[in-house]
A and B are shown apart, each in its own frame.
Chain A
Amino acid sequence: MSITLKINGETREIDADADTPLLWVIRDELNLTGTKFGCGVASCGACTVHLNGKPQRSCVFPIGAVGENEITTIEKVDTPEAKAVQTAWQELDVVQCGYCQSGQIMSAIGLLSDNAKPSDEEIDTFMHGNACRCATYHRIRAAIHRASDILEA
């Protein structure tokens, strides 16, 4: 069936079954490959995108449920929080293999959009669903604090 999708500031017509997870439309149909497949069961967060600015696991979100909601992916996220998070990630060289980092960054942007000055505990709680097998967590925490400082400055 044909579905209209608002994504990254554009309107796109998609031909897909309504139960198709948003992730696969983003990746296979729209070729926006920054959003990753890691588990398919919303357990690792690699597929995190923004739905109206809030983090959403796209691997379990059916395309038929998107409706009028606006989707943003790592390729186009450009709020002040996004810029601060990406800058902090680069300054601290958080990444290792990098496969989970789009999802980590999308979640971190979501956190800072809600809470400009999170504590370690608040970071741990919010970021708990984003797995990193390289275990870059120590730097993720530091980078979120750094992004918070950048935003404050």
Chain B
Amino acid sequence: MDHLRPEARRIAEKPAIERLDCFATDRWIGYSRAQDALKRMDMLLATQPGRVRPQNMLVVGPSNNGKSTIAEKFQRQHPRRSSEERDRHIFPVLSVQMMPDVTAPRFYAQLLDALGSPLGNIRKTDRRNALTLNLMRACGVRLLVIDELHNLLCGPSSRQREILGLIRYLGNELRIPIVALGTKDAWLALRLDDQLENRFQPFLLSMWGDDAETGRLLASFETVIPLRGRSGLGLPALRKVIVERSEGLIGEMHQLLSSAAAHALTEGRERIEREDLLGCPFQAPSYRRQMMERELRA
């Protein structure tokens, strides 16, 4: 079992029945593009706070292609800690998710909730605004992460502009960089505000193709899937099936491999084979969409 990481090896020693639930666990797979994104975020965190016009970053990629996982990893690398005086929490990185029905007061309330403030439900917008800025300063926030930025487009255009103005204001006032993540709609949303568009450098997370880079990613996946035999997921034969079925999305690959691993075990195998990838209950995203559309039409 030397193809497995130590933690996966320990789990692989358990009987098959006990391993069936282990496959769906979220795991960090450090592929090179994600590492590049994290490095850029680290660079922003190290160099941009305090600047008059800090540089920002927009991580753009299709849905279920690992954007939020990168944001969560970055948050874990820079966790909340206690101040030296132990009188406040310090948040080097503060993360929120853009809600589809966002308004300025709700966005402030989200920031206050993320900070753990007991005053998130305070009503007056101007007071909530001042309170948020004060707390973000007091808690040493040095970088703001906004995930699912594309949700901004769910609201009317006047509200979209209002929220973009608010994001710009937060960055300018606190002099902190902002990392936003979203689908290509997030980039379209940012284009509504010329100044913001110029200050957000895009970072693309493309879909995965049937190539050597994907082979390395799948080989990394294999090291954390607790099966005793080597499957050769990164080799061309299985790689092609995996890319096709997952439609090149890393989140779908994770689900497909989890499902295929469980399928292999129930068939009494300790490695994933082509028939597991094709016969497991995983449904490709386009198939799910078609099913949904058919249901809605019926």
Chain A complexes with chain B: no
Give the interface of B toward A (CB within 8 A): none
